Structure 1
């Protein structure tokens, strides 16, 4: 796959972050790595990514706040996939109500994530 789509990945778990970065770069994506929601917003505002992947529970700004900022302040339609180890129904519904396009529970299946990423970028 010869794409150079830019993906912002906001994940505070460094091991998971590196694993996702490695797998997605292998598929040809350009990865912009954020350790928290605040860094994610800076990348989103400056780099105009094609896709946003964000954990929900992070320091400084949660993934839900990132989704809200992208949809309400930036009025952006950029696809957003959120993930969390807390797959509680209210968390999932809040993510979708704020404008997330997809949701995955941790632990993540890298193969499933890759399929979802590719679908969102079609």
Structure 2
């Protein structure tokens, strides 16, 4: 299963990628939204889950969600990670088309359960 992980905080991205790799996921890492969007547009048929922060350089998580939803017949699941646990932000990302919302700080094990839940449905 392939996961695209978009997080600009290096330590969090690398530790989360290490954790997910240890659970037999293939993880493609990006530290900004622009590069991630380009990759997603070209490889969307091979991606199962996108995990994105909201606050990213060049293009934010909302732009990533929007770009994903513009791809016809795209079935990729989207999980938003953010330190902004404001209810309006959560509602906005769900309205944009995100499938799951996880507030930082979070447990990698809880994130794993949410990934499993989304991909088994």
**Structure 2: stretches of 5+ with no match in the other structure:** none
Give 1:64's aligned residue. Answer: 62
Give 1:44's aligned residue. Answer: 40
In the TM superposition, residue 85 of structure 1 has moved relative to its aligned partner by: 0.3
Where in structure 2 are the equivalents of 1:103-114 lying within 5 Å?
103-114=101-112
Which among 2, 9, 14 is matched to residue 5 of structure 2?
9
SS of the residue corresponding to residue 121 of structure 1 reads helix
Which among 89, 92, 108 is matched to residue 90 of structure 2?
92
Normalising by structure 1, we get a TM-score of 0.92
In the TM superposition, residue 121 of structure 1 has moved relative to its aligned partner by: 1.4
CA distance in structure 2 between the partners assigned to 1:63 and 1:108 by the alignment = 18
CA distance in structure 1 between the partners assigned to 2:39 and 2:29 by the alignment = 8
CA distance in structure 2 between the partners assigned to 1:57 and 1:11 by the alignment = 8
The two structures, once aligned, show a CA RMSD in angstroms of: 0.9
CA distance in structure 1 between the partners assigned to 2:66 and 2:75 by the alignment = 12
> Does residue 18 of structure 1 match 2:30?
no
In the TM superposition, residue 104 of structure 1 has moved relative to its aligned partner by: 0.5
Normalising by structure 2, we get a TM-score of 0.93
